[in-house]
Structure 1
């Protein structure tokens, strides 16, 4: 009898340990996101929490480079990262990304073919594209007494202390390179030296740097010219339809922002749940119309308003996009771009 009780006790103990293991194996109802402020709207996250019971912790960064430093230093702090394509490519090359489990993403099929197999994720293993867009020039023709047609015009001395620029090294150095006839992704040191010299001549014309809300300077009249993302241009035009949009003749830069799961994510299953949720057509449509960006979600297009779908500012015409250039990962030269940028801003 004692032997029986001993065996029974062992069985119960094993059962308890096994059950505890199953409980611990289940992810806690938490999801940690790292992105720009407000890029996934509060309503969407609240509805996701209501549907799943998963609490979302949303941390922010101001620039892709800041994100890279943080994730490279503490890769297990975040589950989902939402950033620009070239930065996600850096994380992929550094082996810091978690391969997507497509079985957990039935809505992955909603992604348009034009957003798949890109340079930063050629085999579609890591990334869910979120939005796409391009920076444009926006100006007030009532204040600027000449027609702006391209990046080169931003150097005109008549624009002294009147331009708001997105605070972004790769974009601004990139357009300087374009005026010199080179790629956004140039790594030739002599050409970069020429670009820095030319960039210095632009400094007197820049009144402010603003990554998150440059449109306010144009709406208020604080600045008469802006080089800003198309989404901000659309917001400004809603308030100031008198402003004029310019697709620079030297060629557009184009980018896709995407979501990835950190390789050391503490809650990868919860991350998949949010990714699949964001790929629902109605959610994709709402995100695009809230953010004023192109949507990679093909299934969401039919749910969008005609005004949104037909806007040439949000949905850039194909003839302009066909020659647009991605800003790409440039490896060790990234630090050189950042050094040029810091010296420029201190002028």
Structure 2
């Protein structure tokens, strides 16, 4: 689990080096496989791949990209299982759901890395994780961690960690992600416990403590949490680093806090479904995004760490100097993946429902 935290690329991320000189820039025989079409079917979250990256791939290969979107990892997995993985060539999803898919078996294609000329550009710190210990199925796409960000001109206390969010001075001041595992998780971390706690008695304690946070929560949101901070509607935010990075870029006076109790961490990965209809195009696309300039283009637009050694030199200074993205290695070593907790998931869901209905 902790390998990912060797990840210093100055916590700057990247995505690979060009496949070979004087050859197809995508580095693969796009469109040449038996039964292949000149199409590539991608399944991911809305807006997760920049349009200019998609357009660049089509310009280089002539392959038409068809994008489908899902709202949650669980929705993605349900659709893959329903179709036997035969509708999509590329899927980008989160670590824990990939772990579930791997354990189910028969959902993901085992990658032939000899078809990915740029494969060695991946930073090994992002590989060999719990969801794919032997690197058989995944290509790391982006990584991130939730952080606290606040406006010191509007906040009278020095926020250093999760526990400070319960301070009465922050009444009706916090915008937080509408995500049960993260909010319950940071409550557990404030108690010295794991994001993945399964002890029902400990979870009951966490529920009671989370309820005490409710007076300080002004709003819960999924998207554009940074806008709530920038508008002054809220003075403190608990949000993903990508959202915090956008807030800091717009207002450099905001302060980013790496909670002293330890942060969550996640890696989104590319997988290829077991029955991908355009397999060679899938390999071609993977190789294309592992190009260092393409990788830098992705990271600088989606504001996530990207796990590649080669793109750092192409990232803009505004990206590499952003405290929400340039996270010290000693901080990253004290992070934890949010993982599948099996049957205990129902307990987390129940706590979250009660909290939102309070």
- Tell me the TM-score range normalised by the shorter chain: 0.7 to 0.9
The CA distance in 2 between the partners of 1:192 and 1:125, in whole Å, is 35
Q: Given that residues 294 and 314 in structure 1 are in contact (C-alpha distance below 8 angstroms), is that contact kept between their aligned partners in structure 2?
A: yes
Structure with the higher fraction of residues in helix conformation: 1
The CA distance in 1 between the partners of 2:230 and 2:222, in whole Å, is 15
Aligned equivalent of 2:49: 40
Identify if the C-alpha distance between structure 1 residues 65 and 160 changes in structure 2 by more than 3 Å, giving closer, same or farther.
farther
Q: Given that residues 141 and 307 in structure 2 are in contact (C-alpha distance below 8 angstroms), is that contact kept between their aligned partners in structure 1?
A: yes
Aligned equivalent of 2:38: 29
The CA distance in 1 between the partners of 2:80 and 2:214, in whole Å, is 32
Identify if the C-alpha distance between structure 1 residues 307 and 296 changes in structure 2 by more than 3 Å, giving closer, same or farther.
same
Q: Given that residues 74 and 97 in structure 2 are in contact (C-alpha distance below 8 angstroms), is that contact kept between their aligned partners in structure 1?
A: yes
Q: Given that residues 293 and 315 in structure 1 are in contact (C-alpha distance below 8 angstroms), is that contact kept between their aligned partners in structure 2?
A: no
Q: Given that residues 137 and 246 in structure 1 are in contact (C-alpha distance below 8 angstroms), is that contact kept between their aligned partners in structure 2?
A: yes
Aligned equivalent of 2:6: none
SS at match of 2:310: helix
The CA distance in 1 between the partners of 2:161 and 2:179, in whole Å, is 18
Q: State the 1:165 CA deviation.
A: 1.2
Residues 89-139 of structure 1 show CA distances to partners (whole Å, capped at 9, x for unaligned) of: 112112221111212211111101211111111111100001112111011
SS at match of 2:130: coil
Q: State the 1:186 CA deviation.
A: 1.0
SS at match of 1:132: strand
The CA distance in 2 between the partners of 1:88 and 1:325, in whole Å, is 17
Unaligned ranges ≥5, structure 1: 1-22
Normalising by structure 2, report the TM-score.
Answer: 0.85
Q: For 1:21-170, list aligned pairs within 5 A.
A: 25-74=34-83, 75-95=85-105, 96-170=107-181
Normalising by structure 1, report the TM-score.
Answer: 0.88
State the aligned residue count.
Answer: 325
The CA distance in 2 between the partners of 1:166 and 1:335, in whole Å, is 20
Identify if the C-alpha distance between structure 1 residues 269 and 330 changes in structure 2 by more than 3 Å, giving closer, same or farther.
farther
Aligned equivalent of 1:254: 265
SS at match of 2:311: helix
- Which has more radius of gyration? 1
Identify if the C-alpha distance between structure 1 residues 128 and 235 changes in structure 2 by more than 3 Å, giving closer, same or farther.
same
The CA distance in 2 between the partners of 1:55 and 1:331, in whole Å, is 39
Aligned equivalent of 1:337: 348
Report whether the alignment pairs 1:233 with 2:244: yes
Q: State the 1:307 CA deviation.
A: 4.6
Q: State the 1:310 CA deviation.
A: 4.4
Aligned equivalent of 1:196: 207
Moved over 4 A (4+): none
Residues 219-266 of structure 1 show CA distances to partners (whole Å, capped at 9, x for unaligned) of: 111211110111211110111122111111111111111111122323
The CA distance in 2 between the partners of 1:72 and 1:342, in whole Å, is 27
Unaligned ranges ≥5, structure 2: 1-31
Q: Given that residues 175 and 220 in structure 2 are in contact (C-alpha distance below 8 angstroms), is that contact kept between their aligned partners in structure 1?
A: yes
Moved more, 26-35 or 211-220: 26-35
2:337 to 304, 307, 326: 326
SS at match of 1:184: coil
The CA distance in 2 between the partners of 1:141 and 1:291, in whole Å, is 26
SS at match of 1:106: coil
Residues 177-215 of structure 1 show CA distances to partners (whole Å, capped at 9, x for unaligned) of: 111111011111111122122222222322222223211
Identify if the C-alpha distance between structure 1 residues 332 and 79 changes in structure 2 by more than 3 Å, giving closer, same or farther.
farther
Let me know the Cα RMSD of the aligned residues.
1.9
Aligned equivalent of 2:185: 174
